[in-house]
Amino acid sequence: MTPLIRRLVPLLAALGIVAGCQPFSPEYIAATTINPPTGDPKPAEPAVERLRDCPECPEMVVVPGGRFTTGLTTPVRAEIPSFPNDNATVVVGPFAIGRFEVTQAEFAAFVAATGHRPAGRCTARERTEPPTVDWRGLPGFGPNHPAVCLGRGDGEAYAEWLSRRTGRRYRLPTAAEWEWAARAGAPDDRFFWWGDTIHADRAVCAPDASSEYLIEPVGSRWVSPYGLHDMYGNVGEWMQDCYAKGRNSSDAAVPTGSPRYCKEIEVRGMLCRYGAFSKTSRTPDFTQTNIGLRLVRELP
């Protein structure tokens, strides 16, 4: 969807004028509108179990397991990658997932210890970005900004290093794990754990609905009831799963270390306006200035 169309969608939908289709649903309009800050105080950090296996390791939060239906279960007219009506009932066991997206400081420790060099040329998200950007991000980024410009293989290499370093198994999350964690106990079909509308003070989401591009230091917005930050927006996060447009791929996760078997990999969380149902894809070696990582650590 082009920037111009994104700006026109709420008006056209409200008027019932969308070429070639029925009007967009109120749920879609509500979820795709970036509302001004509410002024409500940020929630306190919930009492959850946190893990940190080494000083340079990312802090992890233990998420309870459960059973749920993936995707939206009611019809919503929107882009298929963002609102995949690809329902499947899945069961996820308890796991630990990064409290934040992997930061530059955390990834720098890995680079210093291993000499790892992310492969591929990073794609600029905006025309105003400098032509050469690496995982350290854009001018003005600091140690608490997310590490960006990372491909799926970079995420796997980082997870493997942490596994060797700690004796625990780190890996990329499955799409089902990510969606379960992003929902944070919310009912089915709720876009965000707090409701169905997005506000600028609750998630790192560009106030201009025509743009997906806004990156801030991790933990800048609201914390979820599961103790997680920035599940909606900030940067996209690589999954284990192959991307399968139009059907659920949560049961088709590819083992860590095997990106070559997928033409495209799921990326979650980039489309902040779509909350827990954000879903897009990239080729495994693709790198971009708004794609980073969040890891899972398996529990004993």
Q: What is the mean pLDDT of residues 119-133?
A: 67
Q: What is the mean pLDDT of residues 56-78?
A: 82
**Residue 217 is encoded by which pair of tokens?**
């230091």
Block residue for tokens 């790192």? 204
Q: What is the mean pLDDT of residues 266-295?
A: 85
In 3-state terms, what secondary structure has residue 195? strand
Q: Are strands 60-63 and 95-98 parallel, antiparallel or unpaired?
A: antiparallel
Q: Residue 35 domain-assigned? A: yes
Q: Residue 282 domain-assigned? A: yes
Q: Are strands 89-92 and 66-69 parallel, antiparallel or unpaired?
A: antiparallel
In 3-state terms, what secondary structure has residue 154? helix
pLDDT at residue 34 is higher than 70: yes
Alpha-carbon span 238 to 275, nearest angstrom: 16
Q: Residue 31 domain-assigned? A: yes
Highest mean pLDDT among 97-111, 124-138, 197-211, 276-290: 97-111
The reported pLDDT for the residue numbered 206 is 72
The reported pLDDT for the residue numbered 245 is 57
Residue type, 297: R
The reported pLDDT for the residue numbered 107 is 96
% of the chain with per-residue pLDDT over 70 = 73
Comparing 76-90, 141-155, 238-252, which segment has the lowest mean pLDDT? 76-90
Largest Cα–Cα distance of the chain, in whole Å?
58
Q: Residue 161 domain-assigned? A: yes
pLDDT tens per residue, range 195-247? 888 888 888 887 654 455 688 999 999 999 999 999 988 899 999 988 765 44
Q: Residue 48 domain-assigned? A: no
Residue type, 298: E
pLDDT at residue 75 is higher than 90: no
Higher pLDDT residue, 178 or 80?
Answer: 178
**Residue 149 is encoded by which pair of tokens?**
């410009």
Q: Across all residues in the chain, what is the average pLDDT? A: 78
Of the candidates 298, 294, 299, 296, the one whose C-alpha atom is nearest the C-alpha of residue 100 is 294
Q: Residue 149 domain-assigned? A: yes
pLDDT at residue 261 is higher than 70: no
The reported pLDDT for the residue numbered 211 is 52
Higher pLDDT residue, 27 or 257?
Answer: 27
Question: What is the domain extent for residue 172?
Answer: 3-40+63-297
How many structural domains compose the chain?
Answer: 1
Q: Residue 81 domain-assigned? A: yes
pTM: 0.82
CATH code, domain with 100: 3.90.1580.10
Q: What is the mean pLDDT of residues 246-250?
A: 41
**Residue 49 is encoded by which pair of tokens?**
């179990």
Cβ-contact 48, 62 below 8 angstroms: yes
Q: Residue 233 domain-assigned? A: yes
The reported pLDDT for the residue numbered 262 is 74
Other CB atoms closer than 10 Å to residue 255's CB: what's the count?
A: 9
